[in-house]
Amino acid sequence: MTVQPITSQPPHNSIETPTPSDFKPWRGLIETYRPYLPVTEETPVITLLEGNTPLIPVPYISQQIGRGVKVLVKYDGLNPTGSFKDRGMTMAISKAKEDGAKAVICASTGNTSAAAAAYARRAGMRAFVIIPDGYVALGKLAQALLYGAEVIAIEGNFDEALTVVRKMAENYPVTLVNSVNPYRLEGQKTAAFEIIDVLGNSPDWLCIPVGNAGNISAYWMGFCQYHSVGKCDKLPKMMGFQAAGAAPFIDGKPISNPQTLATAIRIGNPAGWDKAWAAKEASLGQFNAVTDEEILEAYRLLAAHEGIFCEPASAASVAGLLKVKEQVPSEATVVCVLTGNGLKDPDCAIKHSNNQVKSGIKPEISKIAEVMGF
Ligand code: F0G
């Protein structure tokens, strides 16, 4: 029997369809931004082709602000392990491999552990992750386990976990891959490059959730570096947002018992304190706090009005923007960073959605039509 190919209408002559040579495959952020990164020909590039995440316009949110303000989200939840941490981890793990490391360690509220596990295992290394027991979202835990990390849950919070792993890395043959590892920020700064590559310039504001305060500094580094080589002619105001129950930058001092449902940023004593403040000061930006209710409001709004499902911590950037919207200059371009994918924390989505499954319905047209309101 001969196989008959399925044929469809050939494209109309006047329509140009792409050919394989039109596609330039994305090579991951190290290859793409190699001249801006501390790598050499000898560096083994450990990559899952991270980066190149979409910068998506969010018209409903723009409309909420009005006055010609244009808001876009940098949806970094579309990275290979579902968060921006992949940007930092491709660099940190590649450099650890170059240095001959056999194992890495990190403290994590979940996303760092997922990324560390994926990249370390791909590089043939052991990955030890220390997490606060009971405060890591389900999806993140599932990832770390399946990637093959050695997961150790401590009776303590992220800040205590970070203190422990710093000492472990000093005393044992394990490389620390938290954002105190400078290669992490080098990788993460590429998100700023991508924004400028798309917009042709820096946005006027960058709104970003702040936890351990690494990412805000990484973005600032990226904007400044591109500015210094003439890729943009302005720099954004860095607007950092913390959860109200975990807002040491607003309190002006570390917090010993941070609390928020946005577990990713449940951090009381950010390791990146000084650099983040320097970025805020240099950019004439601000730090503000958003309540869990404001975070949830933005989380639901992004999903139900824009079709974008991010995790609660990520929604802090949009919650923050809406909170201070009166301050946004008219006609400004604002980018909100959505750091992680909503699928990371399905429990939160189900618990805090205003929507419900209509269950117990018989499989009959009339019954279903009735439920549908017809
Ligand atoms: N958003 C998400 C989804 C995060 O996972 C984190 C940090 C942040 C924002 C804050 O970024 O720490 O650079 O200020 N997560 C770390 C972790 C702490 O362990 O996954 P930051």
- Tell me if 260 CB under 6 Å of ligand 1: no
Say how many Å lie between the CA of residue 234 and the centre of ligand 1: 27
* Alpha helix segments (H runs only) across 9-137: 29-32, 59-65, 85-98, 111-122
Alpha-carbon distance of 334 to 82, in angstroms, equals 23
Q: Is the pLDDT of residue 10 over 70?
A: no
Per-residue confidence (pLDDT) for residue 111, from 0 to 100? 98
Closest approach atom of ligand 1 to CA 213? 14
pLDDT (0 to 100) of residue 65: 98
Non-local (6+) Cβ contacts of 100 within 8 A are: none
Residue-level pLDDT at 17: 80
Q: Does the CA dihedral 223-287-256-141 come out positive or negative?
A: negative
How many angstroms separate the CA atoms of 184 and 180, rounded? 8
pLDDT at 344: 98
Q: What is the predicted pLDDT for the residue at 310? A: 98
The predicted pLDDT at position 7 comes to 72
Average pLDDT estimate for 13-26: 79
User: Ligand 1 pocket test: which of 105, 108, 215 has the largest number of ligand atoms within 8 Å of its C-beta?
Assistant: 215
pTM, entire model: 0.95
pLDDT of residue 1: 67
Alpha-carbon distance of 27 to 31, in angstroms, equals 6
- Is the pLDDT at 77 greater than 80, yes or no? yes
Average pLDDT over residues 82-87: 98
Predicted confidence at residue 16, as pLDDT, reads: 77
3-state secondary structure 331-354: CCEEEEEECEEHHHCHHHHHHHCC
Query: Which band of pLDDT confidence, cut at 50, 70 and 90, is reported for residue 214?
Result: very high
Mutation test of ligand 1: which of 79, 109, 317, 338 has the most ligand atoms closer than 8 Å to its C-beta?
109
Q: Is 286 exposed, middle or buried (0-12, 13-18, 19+ CB in 10 A)?
A: middle
- What pLDDT score was predicted for residue 317? 98
How many angstroms is it from 201 CA to the middle of ligand 1? 26
Indicate if the pLDDT at residue 24 is higher than 90. no
Binned at pLDDT 50, 70 and 90, residue 19 comes out as: confident
How many A from CA of 152 to the centre of ligand 1? 19
42 CA to centre of ligand 1 in angstroms:
30
Gyration radius (Cα) of the chain, Å = 22
Per-residue model confidence as pLDDT tens digits over 295-330: 999 999 999 999 999 999 999 999 999 999 999 999
Return the structure tokens found at 161: 């976990």
More confident residue, 15 or 179: 179
Q: With a 6 A CB cut-off, is 311 part of the ligand 1 pocket?
A: yes
For residue 74, list its beta bridge partners: 55, 337
Distances (CA, A) of 204 to 56, 69, 226, 242, 274: 16, 10, 15, 20, 23
| Four-residue CA torsion sign, 189, 190, 195, 199 | positive
CA pair distance 72, 58, nearest whole angstrom = 5
Residue nearest to atom 6 of ligand 1 (CA): 264
DSSP string, 204-229: SEEEEE-SSS-HHHHHHHHHHHHHHT
**Which two tokens mark 250?**
């607003």
- Ligand 1 geometric centre to CA of 215 (Å): 8
Q: How confident is the model at residue 12 (pLDDT cuts 50, 70, 90)?
A: low
Average pLDDT over residues 3-23: 74
pLDDT of amino acid 13: 65
Does the Cβ of 110 fall within 6 Å of ligand 1? yes
Ligand 1 atom closest to the Cα of residue 210 is 14
